[in-house]
Structure 1
């Protein structure tokens, strides 16, 4: 694939929102070696316990330490697998509620296997951020909706990288 195949990244502003779900600390390798999938299944099995769910889309939020030497392959960071809620209700046992403030984001749709997601992240955090002069905040998130088919080439995942 060459750069021309990339869909256009665009900047949007999202209002504040709330999520409820599981929070874990892990590096990328650990998360991808099965930890992420098992948390996803637990969340899916318990989704009816979450009050005021806005929709059926699962959100994977990733919060990074603001440390210049941070390397997501080797260093632990926070993963929150969650659903968006219209308002904060009672949070189920073992889960957390998390509030996200209004922010600008660059949004970009990854197409293809989930295992190739790093290519899209490299594009947004590397090339796009460099070329546009934007600066990322300390988190991003993915939305897994009805287009989420991790093992399929038809897979599409919307990425949102928070901008300063």
Structure 2
């Protein structure tokens, strides 16, 4: 991937939305050692229990604040916010390059400031071990 690919990053505003799922506390190593896939499969198996779904996309929301960790399904309301969004293509194991670019170069060059969370959308294009994998990244901006 060369730097030109990142030109597709753009700032957008999303209206409020609501997510339901699992809340976990883990570092990157724990998450990538299989915890992420395990949670993904658990949520997918229980998707029919969730009423009034707008879609079946899985969202990985990463928040920098620590808190209590409920073990079962929880709900979370996300307020309207501005985001920088970018579609990462390729192996999930190389996703950190996109985050490094957004939190580093993009933030610096555009004069924006990140909030305390970001999220990824895993839809039908999510194939973590394939070069055809696509993940939409959203970093909340102040």
Whether the TM-score (by the shorter chain) exceeds 0.5 is: yes
By how many angstroms is 1:4 displaced? 1.7
Q: 1:117 to 1:28 in 2, by over 3 A?
A: same
Moved segments of 4+, more than 6 Å: 85-93
Stretches of structure 1 lacking an aligned partner (at least 5 in a row): 63-84
Q: 1:134 to 1:87 in 2, by over 3 A?
A: closer
Please point out which of 87, 91, 111 is paired with 1:113.
91
By how many angstroms is 1:5 displaced? 2.8
* Cα distance in 2 between the residues matched to 1:30 and 1:115: 13
Q: 1:161 to 1:88 in 2, by over 3 A?
A: closer
* Cα distance in 2 between the residues matched to 1:37 and 1:123: 25
* Cα distance in 2 between the residues matched to 1:2 and 1:90: 40
TM-score (norm 2): 0.91
Aligned CA-pair RMSD: 4.7
TM-score (norm 1): 0.79
CA offsets, 1:89-122, max 9 Å, x none? 9999811000100000000010111111001100
**Are the aligned partners of 2:126 and 2:134 in contact in 1 as well (CA < 8 Å)?**
yes
Between 18-27 and 1-10, the greater mean CA deviation after superposition: 1-10
Q: 1:35 to 1:123 in 2, by over 3 A?
A: same
**Are the aligned partners of 2:9 and 2:86 in contact in 1 as well (CA < 8 Å)?**
yes
Residues paired across the two proteins, number: 142
Q: 1:5 to 1:88 in 2, by over 3 A?
A: closer
* Cα distance in 1 between the residues matched to 2:88 and 2:127: 12
* Cα distance in 1 between the residues matched to 2:72 and 2:135: 27
Structure having the larger proportion of residues in helix: 2
